[in-house]
Amino acid sequence: MRIEQNVSLEKYNTFHLPVKTRWFIEYENEEDLHKILRDEYFQECLSIHIGQGSNLLFVNDYNGIVLHSLIRGIEVVAEDEHSVHLRIGAGEVWDDVVAYAVAKGWGGIENLSLIPGETGAAAVQNIGAYGREIKDVIESVEAWNQLTFEKHTFTVEECEYSYRQSRFKNPHQDPHIITYVTLKLSKTPVFHLEYGALKQRLEGKEVNLETIREAVISIRREKLPAPTVLGNAGSFFMNPVITAGQFEEIRKQYPAVPSYPEEGGKVKVPAGWLIEQCGFKGQRHGEVGCYDKQALVLVNYGNATGDEIALFAEEIRNAVRERFGIELIPEVKYIA
Ligand code: EPU
């Protein structure tokens, strides 16, 4: 276990904000996590658990304890002729898991290639891309209750997954720390090419797990800035779901508005499109910008502060609310 005081989090958030945390604790196994949870000082302090910090916005220095899991490992725990169950440590880098599964010929997560972050955080947020979400392959999630110090293995139903949501997302309601995620992958994969750009990218090519992974990686590299080059946290907002009536109003004025049908006759509208219509795409305000290839991504040109990013995000929300009457909800989690 590593316990350090006054640690810079610059390497632990993909916006690369040079904030500090009062305490930083990294643990390698569940026994150490159990010790931390039972510690009285820990219980009194403010704390958050992070993965690679690829979905966080630190608005200030953090006056508490930042926890990070170094529980690693990918283990086959069950297998039959059709499927394989992989139990993965929460601290395992997500894209390493995808690369491993693809190399083995096990399908189910290839569309989720190159998403930054670690496996535990992926299961908290229900990461998704190109028509797939991690919930589609989750078998179970092992997590420790921060209040009772007990471990529970949650079935996928118990995780209460929906679009970028789960029971683990709001630690105030349900304070759990994920230590392992078990995925059920297929030895006879069905390919999911519903996302138009992915299908196009594969035209004339043999379709297999490797070519899908390559196509996803190339699409992501074109649209999304690499956090190693330009600080960002992927999509800053979630795509809003609106009523059919609201959608019709927008379509009258903008016949080309993109949309995806949702349950109950509702409609999901891409936030990137709404933001682009408001004129922000490619705009730079000091050290903060709205990415020129994907308006849903806010970027740090080098010396932005969390406050500046939050302020720019607020300006975007106000403009979208004023023009479309739609409330954008950040996908990124603000840490104050
Ligand atoms: N669009 C614009 N302008 C923009 C951006 C997008 O008009 O600046 C339009 C596109 O033309 C397209 C539509 O919006 O018609 C959707 O765009 P895109 O396919 O790029 O996907 P998205 O809805 O903006 C979501 C996820 C991404 C995921 C992609 C692909 C959310 C919040 N974001 O973005 O996830 O990679 O779909 O499946 O759901 C992330 O969560 O960090 C993330 C990158």
**What single string gives the DSSP state of each residue in 273-327?**
HHHHHTT-TT-EETTEEE-SS-TTEEEE-SS--HHHHHHHHHHHHHHHHHHH---
Q: What is the mean pLDDT of residues 300-318?
A: 97
CA 109–ligand 1 middle distance (angstroms): 18
Secondary structure element (H or E) that encloses residue 211, with its range: helix 209-223
Helix pair 94-104, 209-223: axis angle to 10 deg: 150
Summary mean pLDDT of the chain: 97
CB pairs under 8 A, 24+ apart, for 188-193? 188/82, 188/107, 189/105, 189/106, 189/107, 189/108, 189/110, 190/107, 191/107, 192/111, 192/130, 192/131, 192/132, 193/131
At residue 174 the predicted structure's pLDDT band, cuts being 50, 70 and 90, is confident
- Please give the pLDDT value at position 170: 80
DSSP string, 213-273: HHHHHHHHHHHS--TTTSEEEEESBPPPEE-HHHHHHHHHH-TT---EE-GGG-EE--HHH
pLDDT value at position 55? 97
pTM: 0.97
Which residue has better confidence, 172 or 38? 38
Cα–ligand 1 centroid distance for 18 (angstroms): 28
Q: CA 234, 236, 238 angle in degrees (round to 5)? A: 110
Confidence label for 172 from pLDDT (cuts 50, 70 and 90): confident
Under 8 Å between Cβ of 190 and 107? yes
Q: How sure is the predictor about 17, in pLDDT bands with cuts at 50, 70 and 90?
A: very high
The predicted structure's pLDDT at residue 58: 98
pLDDT of residue 84: 98
The answer to whether residue 180 scores a pLDDT higher than 90 is yes
Structure token digits, residue 203? 């035209």
In the structure, what pLDDT confidence band is assigned to residue 135 with cuts at 50, 70 and 90?
A: very high
Of 132, 164, 201, 317, catalytic: 164
CA trace torsion 203, 206, 211, 215 (10° rounding): 0
> Per residue in 246-269, pLDDT tens?
999 999 999 999 999 999 999 999
Alpha carbon of 75 to ligand 1 centroid (Å): 33
Residue 56 pLDDT grade (very low, low, confident, very high; cuts 50, 70, 90): very high
Question: Any catalytic annotation for residue 317?
Answer: no
Q: Is 54 a catalytic residue?
A: no
Backbone angles phi, psi at 185, to 5 degrees: -110, 160
- Asked if 18 and 10 count as a contact pair (C-beta separation under 8 A), the reply is yes
Determine the pLDDT at residue 235.
98
The closest residue, in CA terms, to atom 6 on ligand 1 is: 272
**Structure confidence at residue 209 (pLDDT):** 98
The CB of 331 under 6 Å from ligand 1? The reply is: yes
Is there a catalytic annotation at residue 331? yes
What is the 270 CA–ligand 1 centroid distance (Å)?
6
Distance CA 105, CA 284 (A): 43
Q: What percent of the chain has pLDDT over 70?
A: 100
Report pLDDT for 279: 98
For 92-109, the pLDDT digits (tens) are 999 999 999 999 999 999
For ligand 1, whether the C-beta of 274 sits within 6 Å is: no
- Average pLDDT estimate for 61-77: 98
Tell which one of 235, 280, 291 to mutate to probe ligand 1, the residue whose CB is within 8 A of the most ligand atoms.
Answer: 235
Looking up tokens 């009285």 gives: 40
